[in-house]
A and B are shown apart, each in its own frame.
Chain A
Amino acid sequence: MDEKVAVVGINYAQGDDLGLTRERLCFQTVKGLLVQLGIDRHAIDSFILASNDFLEGRTISNVFEDGPVGAYLKDETKVEMDGINAVVYGALRILEGSYDTVMVVAHSLCGHQVSPYLQVQYSLDPTYDRQLGLLNELSGAALQARSYLRRNGLDEGWLDQAAARELAAGAANEKVTRPLQGMDEGKVGSSPFLYEPLRELHCYPPTDGACAIVLASAGKARELTDKPVWIKGFGSSIDSYYITHRDLTVSSSAAEAARRAYAMAGITDPEVQIGLAEISGLFAHQTPMLIEALGLAPEGEAPRGFAQGSFGREARLPVNPSGGALSAHPVCATGAVRVAEAFRQLRGEAGAVQAGEPRLAVAHGQDGLCMQQNTVLVLGI
Protein backbone atom coordinates (compact mmCIF):
# COMPACT_ATOMS: atom_id res chain seq x y z
CA MET A 1 0.00 0.00 0.00
CA ASP A 2 1.37 3.41 -0.96
CA GLU A 3 1.16 6.53 1.21
CA LYS A 4 -2.53 6.46 2.09
CA VAL A 5 -2.79 6.16 5.88
CA ALA A 6 -0.19 7.28 8.41
CA VAL A 7 0.44 7.10 12.11
CA VAL A 8 1.03 10.73 13.05
CA GLY A 9 1.37 10.59 16.82
CA ILE A 10 1.56 8.26 19.80
CA ASN A 11 1.42 8.53 23.58
CA TYR A 12 1.49 5.72 26.10
CA ALA A 13 2.12 4.77 29.70
CA GLN A 14 2.61 1.36 31.27
CA GLY A 15 3.65 0.10 34.69
CA ASP A 16 2.91 -2.34 37.50
CA ASP A 17 0.44 0.07 39.09
CA LEU A 18 0.08 3.54 37.63
CA GLY A 19 -1.97 4.71 40.62
CA LEU A 20 -4.72 6.18 38.45
CA THR A 21 -8.37 5.55 37.72
CA ARG A 22 -8.99 4.28 34.21
CA GLU A 23 -10.74 7.55 33.39
CA ARG A 24 -7.74 9.65 34.40
CA LEU A 25 -5.28 7.30 32.69
CA CYS A 26 -7.23 7.49 29.41
CA PHE A 27 -7.70 11.24 29.75
CA GLN A 28 -4.00 11.92 30.39
CA THR A 29 -2.89 9.66 27.55
CA VAL A 30 -5.23 11.25 25.00
CA LYS A 31 -4.77 14.81 26.23
CA GLY A 32 -1.00 14.39 26.10
CA LEU A 33 -1.22 13.31 22.49
CA LEU A 34 -3.57 16.11 21.46
CA VAL A 35 -1.23 18.68 23.03
CA GLN A 36 1.76 17.06 21.33
CA LEU A 37 0.02 17.37 17.95
CA GLY A 38 -1.27 20.88 18.67
CA ILE A 39 -4.90 19.93 18.07
CA ASP A 40 -8.07 19.52 20.13
CA ARG A 41 -10.63 16.73 20.13
CA HIS A 42 -12.61 18.34 17.32
CA ALA A 43 -9.77 17.59 14.93
CA ILE A 44 -10.53 13.87 15.43
CA ASP A 45 -13.23 12.39 13.17
CA SER A 46 -13.55 8.97 14.76
CA PHE A 47 -12.51 7.34 18.05
CA ILE A 48 -11.78 3.62 18.34
CA LEU A 49 -11.41 2.21 21.84
CA ALA A 50 -9.78 -1.11 22.65
CA SER A 51 -10.65 -2.48 26.06
CA ASN A 52 -12.33 -5.47 27.64
CA ASP A 53 -15.68 -5.35 29.44
CA PHE A 54 -14.75 -8.39 31.49
CA LEU A 55 -11.59 -6.76 32.80
CA GLU A 56 -13.51 -3.56 33.56
CA GLY A 57 -16.23 -5.49 35.37
CA ARG A 58 -18.95 -3.54 33.61
CA THR A 59 -20.92 -3.95 30.42
CA ILE A 60 -20.46 -1.60 27.46
CA SER A 61 -17.60 -0.14 29.48
CA ASN A 62 -16.47 2.06 26.59
CA VAL A 63 -19.38 4.46 27.04
CA PHE A 64 -17.83 5.57 30.33
CA GLU A 65 -14.54 6.26 28.54
CA ASP A 66 -16.13 8.57 25.97
CA GLY A 67 -15.90 11.57 28.30
CA PRO A 68 -12.27 11.09 29.34
CA VAL A 69 -11.03 10.46 25.77
CA GLY A 70 -13.06 13.33 24.30
CA ALA A 71 -15.31 11.15 22.15
CA TYR A 72 -18.63 12.43 23.48
CA LEU A 73 -21.03 13.62 20.76
CA LYS A 74 -18.62 12.21 18.20
CA ASP A 75 -18.24 9.00 16.23
CA GLU A 76 -17.01 6.27 18.60
CA THR A 77 -16.60 2.52 18.20
CA LYS A 78 -14.76 -0.26 19.96
CA VAL A 79 -12.81 -3.48 19.53
CA GLU A 80 -12.81 -5.95 22.39
CA MET A 81 -9.37 -7.20 21.35
CA ASP A 82 -5.75 -6.20 21.32
CA GLY A 83 -5.31 -2.56 20.30
CA ILE A 84 -3.36 -3.40 17.14
CA ASN A 85 -6.72 -4.46 15.71
CA ALA A 86 -8.08 -1.01 16.54
CA VAL A 87 -5.21 0.45 14.50
CA VAL A 88 -6.18 -1.79 11.55
CA TYR A 89 -9.84 -0.85 12.03
CA GLY A 90 -8.85 2.84 12.02
CA ALA A 91 -6.79 2.42 8.85
CA LEU A 92 -9.77 0.74 7.17
CA ARG A 93 -12.06 3.60 8.21
CA ILE A 94 -9.70 6.12 6.63
CA LEU A 95 -9.21 4.03 3.48
CA GLU A 96 -12.97 3.74 3.15
CA GLY A 97 -13.05 7.53 2.79
CA SER A 98 -15.48 8.73 5.47
CA TYR A 99 -12.83 9.85 7.95
CA ASP A 100 -9.54 11.74 7.77
CA THR A 101 -8.43 11.30 11.37
CA VAL A 102 -8.84 8.47 13.87
CA MET A 103 -7.83 8.35 17.54
CA VAL A 104 -7.16 4.83 18.86
CA VAL A 105 -7.20 4.46 22.65
CA ALA A 106 -6.33 1.08 24.16
CA HIS A 107 -6.05 0.34 27.86
CA SER A 108 -6.44 -2.04 30.79
CA LEU A 109 -5.58 -2.01 34.47
CA CYS A 110 -4.53 -5.58 35.23
CA GLY A 111 -1.61 -4.30 37.29
CA HIS A 112 -3.91 -3.44 40.18
CA GLN A 113 -7.57 -3.82 39.22
CA VAL A 114 -8.17 -7.43 38.30
CA SER A 115 -6.28 -10.57 37.26
CA PRO A 116 -5.09 -10.47 33.63
CA TYR A 117 -5.78 -14.21 33.34
CA LEU A 118 -9.55 -13.76 33.57
CA GLN A 119 -10.16 -12.70 30.00
CA VAL A 120 -8.63 -15.92 28.63
CA GLN A 121 -10.14 -18.01 31.45
CA TYR A 122 -13.61 -16.85 30.52
CA SER A 123 -13.01 -17.38 26.81
CA LEU A 124 -12.75 -21.13 27.48
CA ASP A 125 -15.64 -23.46 26.77
CA PRO A 126 -17.83 -23.16 29.89
CA THR A 127 -19.34 -26.61 29.51
CA TYR A 128 -16.08 -28.47 29.03
CA ASP A 129 -12.70 -26.89 29.75
CA ARG A 130 -13.97 -24.73 32.57
CA GLN A 131 -15.67 -27.76 34.11
CA LEU A 132 -12.46 -29.82 34.07
CA GLY A 133 -10.37 -26.94 35.42
CA LEU A 134 -7.14 -28.11 33.74
CA LEU A 135 -6.76 -25.52 31.01
CA ASN A 136 -5.95 -21.86 31.58
CA GLU A 137 -3.74 -19.24 29.97
CA LEU A 138 -0.66 -20.44 31.86
CA SER A 139 -1.10 -24.21 31.57
CA GLY A 140 -1.83 -23.79 27.85
CA ALA A 141 1.27 -21.63 27.39
CA ALA A 142 3.33 -24.21 29.29
CA LEU A 143 2.22 -27.00 26.93
CA GLN A 144 3.09 -24.75 23.99
CA ALA A 145 6.48 -23.84 25.52
CA ARG A 146 7.43 -27.47 26.08
CA SER A 147 6.28 -28.45 22.59
CA TYR A 148 8.47 -25.68 21.18
CA LEU A 149 11.50 -26.66 23.28
CA ARG A 150 11.15 -30.27 22.20
CA ARG A 151 10.81 -29.45 18.50
CA ASN A 152 13.92 -27.29 18.57
CA GLY A 153 16.01 -29.47 20.88
CA LEU A 154 16.26 -26.73 23.53
CA ASP A 155 16.54 -27.15 27.29
CA GLU A 156 14.70 -25.16 29.96
CA GLY A 157 17.74 -22.94 30.51
CA TRP A 158 17.08 -21.52 27.06
CA LEU A 159 13.84 -20.02 28.39
CA ASP A 160 15.88 -18.23 31.10
CA GLN A 161 18.17 -16.77 28.43
CA ALA A 162 15.29 -15.72 26.18
CA ALA A 163 13.40 -14.04 29.04
CA ALA A 164 16.52 -12.36 30.48
CA ARG A 165 17.28 -10.91 27.06
CA GLU A 166 13.80 -9.29 26.82
CA LEU A 167 13.87 -8.06 30.42
CA ALA A 168 17.35 -6.54 29.99
CA ALA A 169 16.07 -4.61 26.97
CA GLY A 170 13.05 -3.48 29.00
CA ALA A 171 15.30 -2.26 31.81
CA ALA A 172 16.82 0.27 29.40
CA ASN A 173 13.42 1.54 28.23
CA GLU A 174 12.16 4.60 30.13
CA LYS A 175 8.66 3.76 28.88
CA VAL A 176 8.66 0.60 31.02
CA THR A 177 8.24 1.48 34.68
CA ARG A 178 8.45 -2.09 36.00
CA PRO A 179 11.61 -2.48 38.12
CA LEU A 180 13.71 -4.67 35.83
CA GLN A 181 17.28 -3.87 36.84
CA GLY A 182 19.43 -6.95 37.35
CA MET A 183 16.97 -9.44 35.87
CA ASP A 184 19.63 -11.82 34.59
CA GLU A 185 19.43 -15.48 33.63
CA GLY A 186 20.15 -16.57 37.18
CA LYS A 187 17.35 -14.50 38.61
CA VAL A 188 14.91 -15.67 35.93
CA GLY A 189 15.95 -19.30 36.43
CA SER A 190 15.43 -19.12 40.18
CA SER A 191 11.94 -17.60 40.01
CA PRO A 192 9.27 -20.13 41.02
CA PHE A 193 7.65 -22.53 38.58
CA LEU A 194 4.04 -21.80 37.65
CA TYR A 195 3.49 -24.57 35.11
CA GLU A 196 6.69 -26.30 34.01
CA PRO A 197 8.70 -25.36 32.06
CA LEU A 198 7.36 -21.82 32.64
CA ARG A 199 8.63 -19.92 35.66
CA GLU A 200 7.18 -16.68 36.92
CA LEU A 201 9.74 -14.54 35.06
CA HIS A 202 9.13 -16.43 31.80
CA CYS A 203 5.60 -15.00 31.86
CA TYR A 204 4.31 -11.49 31.24
CA PRO A 205 3.73 -9.32 34.31
CA PRO A 206 0.29 -8.01 35.33
CA THR A 207 0.40 -4.44 34.04
CA ASP A 208 -1.56 -1.18 34.02
CA GLY A 209 -1.34 0.77 30.79
CA ALA A 210 -2.86 2.85 28.04
CA CYS A 211 -1.79 3.76 24.53
CA ALA A 212 -3.22 6.45 22.25
CA ILE A 213 -2.44 6.62 18.53
CA VAL A 214 -3.63 9.13 15.94
CA LEU A 215 -4.02 7.93 12.35
CA ALA A 216 -4.60 10.24 9.42
CA SER A 217 -5.22 10.22 5.70
CA ALA A 218 -2.28 11.23 3.48
CA GLY A 219 -3.27 14.89 3.14
CA LYS A 220 -4.12 15.32 6.80
CA ALA A 221 -1.01 13.44 7.92
CA ARG A 222 1.30 15.96 6.25
CA GLU A 223 -0.58 18.80 7.98
CA LEU A 224 -0.20 17.17 11.38
CA THR A 225 3.45 16.11 11.25
CA ASP A 226 6.65 16.45 9.26
CA LYS A 227 7.42 12.79 9.81
CA PRO A 228 4.39 10.61 9.10
CA VAL A 229 4.92 6.88 9.57
CA TRP A 230 3.03 5.12 6.79
CA ILE A 231 0.99 1.99 7.22
CA LYS A 232 2.22 -0.16 4.35
CA GLY A 233 0.25 -3.30 5.00
CA PHE A 234 -1.68 -5.33 7.55
CA GLY A 235 -3.01 -8.82 7.95
CA SER A 236 -4.84 -10.92 10.52
CA SER A 237 -5.50 -14.60 10.97
CA ILE A 238 -6.99 -16.89 13.58
CA ASP A 239 -6.17 -20.47 14.49
CA SER A 240 -8.51 -23.21 15.68
CA TYR A 241 -10.20 -22.43 18.98
CA TYR A 242 -9.15 -25.74 20.52
CA ILE A 243 -5.45 -26.07 21.28
CA THR A 244 -5.81 -29.85 20.82
CA HIS A 245 -6.62 -29.15 17.15
CA ARG A 246 -3.44 -27.14 16.59
CA ASP A 247 0.25 -27.84 16.06
CA LEU A 248 1.54 -26.10 19.19
CA THR A 249 5.14 -26.01 17.95
CA VAL A 250 4.44 -23.27 15.38
CA SER A 251 2.07 -20.34 14.94
CA SER A 252 0.36 -20.91 11.62
CA SER A 253 -2.00 -17.97 12.13
CA ALA A 254 0.89 -15.53 12.76
CA ALA A 255 2.54 -16.82 9.58
CA GLU A 256 -0.69 -16.30 7.63
CA ALA A 257 -1.21 -12.81 9.12
CA ALA A 258 2.34 -11.89 8.10
CA ARG A 259 1.87 -13.32 4.60
CA ARG A 260 -1.18 -11.07 4.12
CA ALA A 261 0.56 -7.99 5.54
CA TYR A 262 3.67 -8.52 3.43
CA ALA A 263 1.59 -9.05 0.27
CA MET A 264 -0.12 -5.70 0.85
CA ALA A 265 3.20 -3.99 1.62
CA GLY A 266 4.95 -5.53 -1.38
CA ILE A 267 7.51 -7.26 0.81
CA THR A 268 9.02 -10.33 -0.79
CA ASP A 269 11.97 -11.00 1.51
CA PRO A 270 11.06 -9.88 5.04
CA GLU A 271 14.29 -11.10 6.59
CA VAL A 272 16.24 -8.70 4.38
CA GLN A 273 13.76 -5.84 3.91
CA ILE A 274 12.45 -5.38 7.48
CA GLY A 275 14.73 -3.31 9.69
CA LEU A 276 12.97 -3.61 13.05
CA ALA A 277 10.35 -5.81 14.70
CA GLU A 278 8.16 -5.22 17.75
CA ILE A 279 6.50 -8.52 18.65
CA SER A 280 3.96 -9.38 21.37
CA GLY A 281 5.49 -12.49 22.92
CA LEU A 282 3.66 -13.00 26.23
CA PHE A 283 5.81 -15.95 27.33
CA ALA A 284 9.56 -16.46 26.91
CA HIS A 285 9.24 -18.91 24.01
CA GLN A 286 6.76 -16.86 22.01
CA THR A 287 8.92 -14.03 20.63
CA PRO A 288 11.41 -16.47 19.00
CA MET A 289 8.48 -18.56 17.76
CA LEU A 290 6.96 -15.44 16.21
CA ILE A 291 10.28 -14.33 14.66
CA GLU A 292 10.08 -17.59 12.71
CA ALA A 293 6.37 -17.21 11.89
CA LEU A 294 6.97 -13.67 10.63
CA GLY A 295 9.72 -14.92 8.33
CA LEU A 296 12.40 -12.80 10.03
CA ALA A 297 14.97 -15.60 10.34
CA PRO A 298 15.78 -18.79 8.47
CA GLU A 299 13.99 -21.80 9.88
CA GLY A 300 15.61 -23.13 13.03
CA GLU A 301 17.87 -20.11 13.61
CA ALA A 302 15.59 -17.88 15.65
CA PRO A 303 15.58 -19.71 19.00
CA ARG A 304 19.32 -19.82 19.65
CA GLY A 305 19.95 -16.55 17.85
CA PHE A 306 17.37 -14.71 19.93
CA ALA A 307 18.61 -16.01 23.27
CA GLN A 308 22.22 -15.24 22.34
CA GLY A 309 21.45 -11.67 21.31
CA SER A 310 21.57 -11.80 17.51
CA PHE A 311 18.37 -9.72 17.33
CA GLY A 312 19.71 -7.12 19.78
CA ARG A 313 19.73 -3.34 19.48
CA GLU A 314 22.93 -3.35 17.42
CA ALA A 315 21.79 -6.13 15.10
CA ARG A 316 20.77 -5.62 11.48
CA LEU A 317 17.25 -6.68 12.48
CA PRO A 318 16.59 -5.64 16.09
CA VAL A 319 13.61 -7.40 17.70
CA ASN A 320 11.89 -5.86 20.71
CA PRO A 321 14.44 -3.22 21.69
CA SER A 322 11.55 -1.99 23.88
CA GLY A 323 11.70 -5.08 26.10
CA GLY A 324 8.52 -6.48 24.54
CA ALA A 325 5.50 -7.79 26.36
CA LEU A 326 7.60 -9.69 28.91
CA SER A 327 8.56 -6.27 30.29
CA ALA A 328 5.03 -4.83 30.22
CA HIS A 329 1.76 -6.33 29.03
CA PRO A 330 -1.18 -3.98 29.44
CA VAL A 331 -3.81 -6.36 28.00
CA CYS A 332 -5.60 -4.71 25.03
CA ALA A 333 -2.91 -2.01 24.78
CA THR A 334 0.11 -4.27 24.18
CA GLY A 335 -0.17 -4.52 20.38
CA ALA A 336 -0.84 -0.78 20.16
CA VAL A 337 2.32 -0.22 22.23
CA ARG A 338 4.23 -2.33 19.68
CA VAL A 339 2.99 0.06 16.97
CA ALA A 340 3.98 3.03 19.15
CA GLU A 341 7.46 1.60 19.78
CA ALA A 342 7.94 0.94 16.05
CA PHE A 343 6.76 4.52 15.37
CA ARG A 344 9.37 6.11 17.60
CA GLN A 345 12.10 3.82 16.27
CA LEU A 346 11.27 4.74 12.65
CA ARG A 347 11.34 8.43 13.57
CA GLY A 348 14.61 8.05 15.45
CA GLU A 349 12.94 9.13 18.69
CA ALA A 350 13.41 6.03 20.84
CA GLY A 351 16.06 7.60 23.07
CA ALA A 352 18.07 5.07 25.07
CA VAL A 353 16.54 2.13 23.20
CA GLN A 354 16.98 3.53 19.67
CA ALA A 355 18.07 0.68 17.42
CA GLY A 356 19.86 2.08 14.38
CA GLU A 357 17.90 3.84 11.65
CA PRO A 358 15.20 1.45 10.52
CA ARG A 359 13.13 2.44 7.47
CA LEU A 360 10.66 -0.45 7.53
CA ALA A 361 9.27 -2.09 10.66
CA VAL A 362 6.83 -4.80 11.57
CA ALA A 363 4.53 -4.67 14.63
CA HIS A 364 2.62 -7.69 15.94
CA GLY A 365 -0.25 -8.24 18.35
CA GLN A 366 -2.06 -11.33 19.58
CA ASP A 367 -5.16 -12.48 21.43
CA GLY A 368 -6.43 -15.70 22.92
CA LEU A 369 -5.13 -18.92 24.37
CA CYS A 370 -1.65 -19.85 23.03
CA MET A 371 -1.80 -16.86 20.66
CA GLN A 372 -4.84 -18.06 18.78
CA GLN A 373 -5.29 -14.77 16.90
CA ASN A 374 -2.49 -12.73 15.35
CA THR A 375 -2.31 -9.37 13.60
CA VAL A 376 0.72 -8.01 11.76
CA LEU A 377 1.25 -4.41 10.67
CA VAL A 378 4.02 -3.13 8.38
CA LEU A 379 5.10 0.47 8.97
CA GLY A 380 7.56 2.57 7.02
CA ILE A 381 8.99 6.05 6.83
Chain B
Amino acid sequence: MEGLMESYFTPLVPMDFGYQYRLGAYLERYLDGLRERKILGVRCEGCGDVMVPPRMYCGKCRRKLEEWIEVKDRGELVEFTVGHVIMSKGKLSPSDPYIIGLVRLDGATHPLLARIQGVEVSSLRPGMRLRAHWNEAAENDYFVLDHFGPE
Protein backbone atom coordinates (compact mmCIF):
# COMPACT_ATOMS: atom_id res chain seq x y z
CA MET B 1 0.00 0.00 0.00
CA GLU B 2 2.79 2.44 0.78
CA GLY B 3 3.90 2.49 -2.84
CA LEU B 4 0.37 3.36 -3.90
CA MET B 5 0.26 6.29 -1.47
CA GLU B 6 3.04 7.96 -3.42
CA SER B 7 1.37 7.46 -6.76
CA TYR B 8 -2.08 8.94 -6.27
CA PHE B 9 -2.80 11.15 -9.25
CA THR B 10 -5.65 13.52 -9.92
CA PRO B 11 -7.53 13.12 -13.20
CA LEU B 12 -9.81 16.03 -14.11
CA VAL B 13 -13.48 15.11 -13.84
CA PRO B 14 -15.44 17.90 -15.54
CA MET B 15 -19.06 18.85 -14.87
CA ASP B 16 -20.45 21.01 -17.62
CA PHE B 17 -24.17 21.60 -17.83
CA GLY B 18 -26.73 24.34 -17.33
CA TYR B 19 -29.95 24.84 -15.43
CA GLN B 20 -32.92 26.76 -16.76
CA TYR B 21 -34.54 28.41 -13.77
CA ARG B 22 -37.77 30.36 -13.97
CA LEU B 23 -37.34 33.83 -12.49
CA GLY B 24 -40.66 34.14 -10.69
CA ALA B 25 -43.04 37.08 -10.87
CA TYR B 26 -41.06 39.53 -8.70
CA LEU B 27 -37.76 39.37 -10.53
CA GLU B 28 -39.52 39.38 -13.91
CA ARG B 29 -41.32 42.58 -12.99
CA TYR B 30 -38.03 44.11 -11.77
CA LEU B 31 -36.27 43.28 -15.05
CA ASP B 32 -39.27 44.57 -17.06
CA GLY B 33 -38.85 47.82 -15.12
CA LEU B 34 -35.16 48.07 -15.98
CA ARG B 35 -36.03 47.90 -19.67
CA GLU B 36 -38.02 51.11 -19.14
CA ARG B 37 -35.23 52.68 -17.09
CA LYS B 38 -37.26 52.23 -13.93
CA ILE B 39 -35.87 50.72 -10.74
CA LEU B 40 -38.67 48.98 -8.86
CA GLY B 41 -38.74 47.94 -5.25
CA VAL B 42 -41.31 46.75 -2.76
CA ARG B 43 -42.28 48.43 0.49
CA CYS B 44 -43.13 46.61 3.71
CA GLU B 45 -46.32 47.80 5.37
CA GLY B 46 -44.98 46.70 8.73
CA CYS B 47 -41.52 48.28 9.03
CA GLY B 48 -41.60 50.59 6.03
CA ASP B 49 -38.43 49.10 4.55
CA VAL B 50 -38.08 49.40 0.79
CA MET B 51 -36.20 46.54 -0.85
CA VAL B 52 -34.46 46.68 -4.20
CA PRO B 53 -34.39 44.25 -5.92
CA PRO B 54 -37.89 43.36 -4.77
CA ARG B 55 -38.37 40.44 -2.39
CA MET B 56 -41.64 38.64 -1.83
CA TYR B 57 -41.41 38.64 1.98
CA CYS B 58 -39.96 40.89 4.68
CA GLY B 59 -37.52 38.91 6.81
CA LYS B 60 -38.05 41.20 9.80
CA CYS B 61 -41.86 41.28 9.77
CA ARG B 62 -42.61 38.02 7.92
CA ARG B 63 -45.11 39.94 5.85
CA LYS B 64 -45.83 39.43 2.19
CA LEU B 65 -44.67 42.49 0.29
CA GLU B 66 -47.16 43.75 -2.25
CA GLU B 67 -46.69 47.50 -2.50
CA TRP B 68 -44.54 48.20 -5.55
CA ILE B 69 -42.80 51.52 -5.77
CA GLU B 70 -40.32 53.11 -8.12
CA VAL B 71 -37.13 54.36 -6.46
CA LYS B 72 -34.71 56.93 -7.91
CA ASP B 73 -31.93 55.89 -10.24
CA ARG B 74 -29.50 57.80 -8.05
CA GLY B 75 -28.34 57.46 -4.51
CA GLU B 76 -25.32 57.25 -2.23
CA LEU B 77 -22.40 54.91 -1.84
CA VAL B 78 -22.55 52.83 1.35
CA GLU B 79 -19.40 50.69 1.00
CA PHE B 80 -17.14 49.40 -1.75
CA THR B 81 -14.38 46.98 -2.66
CA VAL B 82 -11.84 47.02 -5.48
CA GLY B 83 -11.49 43.66 -7.18
CA HIS B 84 -8.07 42.55 -8.44
CA VAL B 85 -9.26 39.11 -9.45
CA ILE B 86 -12.18 37.56 -11.28
CA MET B 87 -13.72 34.40 -9.90
CA SER B 88 -15.02 31.99 -12.49
CA LYS B 89 -16.18 28.50 -11.60
CA GLY B 90 -14.37 28.91 -8.30
CA LYS B 91 -11.02 29.76 -9.91
CA LEU B 92 -9.34 33.13 -9.45
CA SER B 93 -7.63 34.90 -12.33
CA PRO B 94 -5.92 38.31 -12.24
CA SER B 95 -7.84 41.33 -13.48
CA ASP B 96 -7.38 45.07 -13.94
CA PRO B 97 -8.84 46.69 -10.82
CA TYR B 98 -12.61 47.25 -10.87
CA ILE B 99 -15.00 48.67 -8.29
CA ILE B 100 -18.02 46.96 -6.75
CA GLY B 101 -20.16 49.03 -4.40
CA LEU B 102 -23.24 48.95 -2.25
CA VAL B 103 -25.43 51.83 -3.42
CA ARG B 104 -28.45 52.99 -1.42
CA LEU B 105 -30.86 54.47 -3.96
CA ASP B 106 -32.98 57.44 -2.94
CA GLY B 107 -36.25 55.99 -1.68
CA ALA B 108 -34.80 52.55 -0.83
CA THR B 109 -33.76 51.17 2.57
CA HIS B 110 -31.48 48.33 1.54
CA PRO B 111 -28.53 48.94 -0.78
CA LEU B 112 -28.05 47.46 -4.23
CA LEU B 113 -24.78 45.76 -5.16
CA ALA B 114 -23.50 47.25 -8.41
CA ARG B 115 -20.47 47.93 -10.53
CA ILE B 116 -19.09 51.46 -10.21
CA GLN B 117 -17.21 53.21 -13.00
CA GLY B 118 -15.87 56.64 -13.88
CA VAL B 119 -14.67 57.34 -10.33
CA GLU B 120 -11.09 57.37 -9.05
CA VAL B 121 -10.64 54.75 -6.34
CA SER B 122 -8.94 57.36 -4.13
CA SER B 123 -12.04 59.57 -4.25
CA LEU B 124 -14.50 56.84 -3.18
CA ARG B 125 -16.21 57.71 0.11
CA PRO B 126 -19.37 56.47 1.80
CA GLY B 127 -22.09 59.03 1.20
CA MET B 128 -20.73 59.87 -2.25
CA ARG B 129 -23.53 60.62 -4.72
CA LEU B 130 -23.88 58.27 -7.68
CA ARG B 131 -26.30 57.79 -10.56
CA ALA B 132 -27.23 54.88 -12.78
CA HIS B 133 -25.82 54.53 -16.28
CA TRP B 134 -28.10 52.61 -18.59
CA ASN B 135 -27.37 50.43 -21.57
CA GLU B 136 -30.55 49.60 -23.49
CA ALA B 137 -28.48 47.72 -26.06
CA ALA B 138 -27.41 45.15 -23.47
CA GLU B 139 -28.08 41.64 -24.74
CA ASN B 140 -29.02 40.49 -21.26
CA ASP B 141 -31.79 42.26 -19.29
CA TYR B 142 -29.71 42.14 -16.11
CA PHE B 143 -27.15 44.50 -17.63
CA VAL B 144 -29.53 47.20 -18.87
CA LEU B 145 -28.69 48.82 -15.54
CA ASP B 146 -25.03 48.83 -16.49
CA HIS B 147 -23.20 50.59 -13.66
CA PHE B 148 -23.21 53.61 -11.37
CA GLY B 149 -21.07 56.68 -11.92
CA PRO B 150 -20.74 60.23 -10.54
CA GLU B 151 -24.05 62.11 -10.25
Contact = CB atoms under 8 A, between A and B. Distances in A.
A61 interface: no
B59 interface: yes
Given A195-B84, A245-B110, A147 B79 contact: yes
Interface string A73-102: 000000000000000000000000000000
Contact of B24 (A113, A116, A127, A243): A127
B48 interface: no
Contact of A194 (B5, B84, B102): B84
A202 to B, nearest CB: 12
Given A143-B102, A244-B113, A112 B10 contact: yes
B112 A244 contact: yes
A132 B87 contact: no
A20 interface: yes
A126 B15 CA distance: 17
Contacts, number: 94
Contact of A126 (B21, B53, B87): B21
Nearest to B30: A128
Contacts of B15: 57
Contact of B8 (A21, A57, A128): A21
A193 interface: yes
| Size category, A interface | 35 or more
A117 B113 contact: no
A52 interface: no
B25 interface: no
A134 interface: yes
A110 B104 CA distance: 36
Which 9 residue pairs across A and B have the least CB separation, nearest first? A115-B90, A142-B81, A118-B90, A196-B82, A193-B84, A195-B81, A117-B90, A136-B87, A131-B142
Given A126-B19, A134-B100, A134-B115, 7 more contacts: A127-B21, A127-B23, A131-B140, A143-B100, A193-B84, A243-B113, A244-B112
Interface of B: 5, 8, 10, 13, 15, 19, 21, 23-24, 27, 51, 53, 55, 59, 79-85, 87, 89-92, 100, 102, 110-115, 126, 140, 142
